[in-house]
Amino acid sequence: MLMLRQRGERSGRVAAPAVGIGMVFHFVSVVETAGLYGYANLMTIRQAESSLALLIAIIFTVLYLRYKTATPAALIFPLIFLLSFASAISQHQVAISRSSLYSGWIFFHVSTLIFGYAMLFLSFVSSLLYLVMARQLKSKQSSSWVRRMPALQEVDELGYKALLLGFPFMTIGLITGSVLAEEKFGASFIGDPKVVLSLLMWAVYLTLLYTRWSAGWRGRKAAYLASVGFAVAVCAWGANYLSKLHRFVAP
């Protein structure tokens, strides 16, 4: 099923229906796995990656229907592909024991963060698009893909809204994570690379929001900042493989 999804992604740029079919299969896959192992299964890296990929694909589809533009696909689909691929080859199939007292909270922690990630990624894509489109407008060349894009300000608004929406989720997710970790491991969790990177990412996004509010940063500066944020976010996600806390081997 995941294989099908991946195929859909690759041809997605030319064939929207393939994406649709891929998404349906992907959705079925996620739901079935959840049905098999219970919702707590979301807490495996594999499932988290898979869900994030699905979420991003859904967001993209909504945007596609809204603005009739498939341009962001060039940026979005490789990521979805990467996420699904990583998820598919991941050997970890270790679910946290369902009896875990924390499972409800952990589920909450993971799902808010996944949503946060998806939103922040969307905002990153928007800021990159903004940058490229602004360049095009300034250089007075209009290539056909820009003509099909929504207006510059709409892209900007979209990124900003995604940021506004994603940030609280991320904050809540991080707070629940910290509380859970505090209870479980004591103060030592702070030193965990995953935690450090997550906090750094959070700080970058806070800066992004702040500069936007106070000085209305957008365009080049904002895009640079968003890229830094995204890079940190990728590291934070990748740190799943390094972190002790997120090995999901604990009880």
Partner 1 sequence: MNFFVLGVNHKTAPVEVRERFAIPESRLPDALSKLTSMEGIEEGMIVSTCNRVEIFARSQNGHCDLQRFVREYFGFSPGEYESYIFQHEQMDAVKHVFRVASSLDSMVVGESQILGQVKEAYATARAVGSVNSQLDQLLTRAFAVAKKVRSETSIASSSVSIASVAVELAGKIFGSLHGKSVYLVGAGKMCELAARHLIAHGATKIYVGNRTLDRAVALAEKFQGEAIPFERLYDTVPWADIVISSTGAPHTIFRKEHGEKFLHVRKNRPMFFIDIAVPRDIDPGLNDLDGIFVYNIDDLQEVVQSHLGGRHKEALRAEALVDEEVRKFEARAQTAEVVPTIVSLQQHLETLRQAELDRVRGRLGALSPEQEMAIEALTRGIINKIMHTPITTLKASARDPESTTVIDVVRKLFNLRPVTAPQTAAPAATAAPKSAPKAVDAPEAPALVRQNQK
User: Which one of residues 16, 82, 132, 134 is an interface residue with partner 1 (CB under 8 A)?
Assistant: 134
State the burial class of residue 50 (Cβ atoms within 10 Å of its Cβ: 0-12, 13-18, 19+): buried
The smaller minimum CB distance to partner 1, of residues 7 and 221, is found at: 221
* Long-range Cβ contact pairs of 187-192 (< 8 A, separation 24 or more): 189/245, 192/243, 192/244, 192/245
Q: Find the binding residues for partner 1 in span 225-244 (CB under 8 A).
A: none
As measured in angstroms, the least distance from the Cβ of 54 to partner 1 is 29
CA nearest 48: which of 116, 97, 101?
116
From the list 92-100, 190-198, 213-221, 234-242, the region that binds partner 1 by CB under 8 A is: 213-221
As measured in angstroms, the least distance from the Cβ of 229 to partner 1 is 18
Q: Would you count residue 65 as binding partner 1 (CB under 8 A)?
A: no
For 158-236, list the strands marked E by DSSP.
none
Residues 6/85, Cβ–Cβ less than 8 Å = yes
As measured in angstroms, the least distance from the Cβ of 97 to partner 1 is 51
The smaller minimum CB distance to partner 1, of residues 184 and 220, is found at: 220
* Per-residue x/- track, 96-115, partner 1 (CB under 8 A): --------------------
d(CA 31, CA 39): 9
As measured in angstroms, the least distance from the Cβ of 145 to partner 1 is 12
Q: Find the binding residues for partner 1 in span 136-175 (CB under 8 A).
A: 137-138, 140, 142, 146-147, 150-154, 156
Residues 207/225, Cβ–Cβ less than 8 Å = yes
Per DSSP, 43 falls in state G
The smaller minimum CB distance to partner 1, of residues 11 and 69, is found at: 69
Any alpha helices (H) in 152-219, and if so which ranges? Answer: 152-185, 193-215
Q: Find the binding residues for partner 1 in span 24-53 (CB under 8 A).
A: none
The smaller minimum CB distance to partner 1, of residues 70 and 195, is found at: 70
Q: Would you count residue 66 as binding partner 1 (CB under 8 A)?
A: no
Q: Would you count residue 219 as binding partner 1 (CB under 8 A)?
A: yes
Q: What share of the chain is helix, strand, coil (3-state, %, to 5)?
A: 80, 0, 20
As measured in angstroms, the least distance from the Cβ of 156 to partner 1 is 8
Q: Would you count residue 209 as binding partner 1 (CB under 8 A)?
A: no
Residues 197/94, Cβ–Cβ less than 8 Å = no
Helix/strand/coil for 69: coil
Name residue 225's amino acid.
L
User: Which one of residues 13, 221, 244, 247 is an interface residue with partner 1 (CB under 8 A)?
Assistant: 221
At residue 219, φ and ψ (nearest 5 deg) are 75, -135
- Residues lying near partner 1 in the complex (CB under 8 A) are found at 134, 137-138, 140, 142, 146-147, 150-154, 156, 215-221
